[in-house]
Structure 1
């Protein structure tokens, strides 16, 4: 009786103009499917979702006939969810938008460390700062236990059952999914085998110089703060603690050479482009320092090479609100810098960013189709995800924009970020 009441309430609550334009037969059928799966808490949350313009638009898209994946939290998942998720209608809308993925994933069944990624409907700029105002992604894979796990979650979230309704695949999960957060919020949750504590310390010692034209003064911003809140779209290859310890002598030798230390940082960074692990396969990218980053894959894993160093990607796709980390087992000891190549790569990324695309399949699907063949890196420029004018950083040698925190905007000129 309660379920039937919730279904009716959801449909009746819809604004009349919206309700008249939607396929109510479809929505009724969807709600019936959710009821049959005993997802009454989700139905109740959907009523709140439908009270917002964002929610109404997404529900309209679901009835379009295009394929979607819905990660549907069980009643127990909602019962254990943080109170700030279930009691705040705005937060709940964002969280539910993160549970809906556009595209057909019927042929995608990756086993970790291979990862499936899909673009969600979450694009609230308060919680997502990817390039080009792109929506956030969600990642999942089959673990050793044979079950699908949603990755990057503080509480291990497992698909416990799957059903479908029409064009929608419904994966029932045992925890409410929480969208990616900032670097500062994410790194402390990493487990001991992929600890990035030493990386945090290292990034705090690397300072990118800037000039404040308002106060006519020079200063610097730490590399940590740059990644944490200064960039809108980036890819960073993050050495784990073991890698930092193993390279301590090299890092100590560079400590007094600011230019070399900065270049080392730049050569772990792909600027203005969020590149997920399936998109790395068989590709070359150019670092923010203008140095080539090449990628290969074989039976032992996926590798990145810069200069004379090759590192294993031990944990791919650590999702952040403004980019992505790939954890690696070695520091990429490369202090080279090529201004022209860095500028060219940034221009390519910016051009690609201006192209709006609708993703209807797993991110990097065409690249990962031949994962088992062991292809090696070859011939592609750094393009990838969309980009906006703000949240962009260029290594020394080209003036571009970078958002520092929520309000300041900087331009890198020569070796300085100029902040207005």
Structure 2
């Protein structure tokens, strides 16, 4: 995984500034948001995504719904896309087109959202609909949801660009609906979380996890379930009552509620022990490069976050690579 260092961040911002000034000199205007992505190599994958997702033309023109004609875009760098396994344009075909378009729209605000307004606790709407919130950590670093804001106020002819280090993801559904969307290949073209969905249904937890919550859910991948000895949907569906009771306890160990619910990675109390919905405990590792590990009592190796900070209507989901056995 490519890591953006402070030096690299400076290069990104400088490159954007130079791209803008170059276009201004030649055409006496700032470049559009789309042109900024095109002219800066650190936004190659964003350019590819915008073209495939059908928003490149939109962001290349004035915003008809804003008096000044502006948009504000939280712009994921190439490294941000790399976190999702997207390293070149062809990798974008792993995402369903509709999900890709909605994801891109979630990065866009209608109007000007200056860097000075990105203060802790503030929220902003998106063209997709769900709002995003600004988080500030003790070291002064700023995040939009779980994505670090690498710079602010890169000027475009039709608005502003704020580079970020992770792709923002919002499903528009609750925790259960979001898991089902992955399970039914509405997000990635390849189904995922099929065993988690089967387990939730078998334990009759779908009603609980569809309530307002809010929840923070650590969602194990299919491979995580297989590694834990739960091999298939049939194996889950054929469990005995005693096995279902045990599975219910395992699932409850993946949920945080109350004041720990609805937490993005920079908001989680890293380096501490937290109590789960089921009454167990999880040890959260150090916050590093936008993620943290999660360890339960009965696993020797902590779980890593594969896809963190998925915003749902009743909480936040972090996809992990191990089952957190109580």
TM-score, structure 2 normalization = 0.49
TM norm structure 1: 0.39
Q: Select the structure of larger CA radius of gyration.
A: 1
**Which structure carries more strand by proportion?**
1
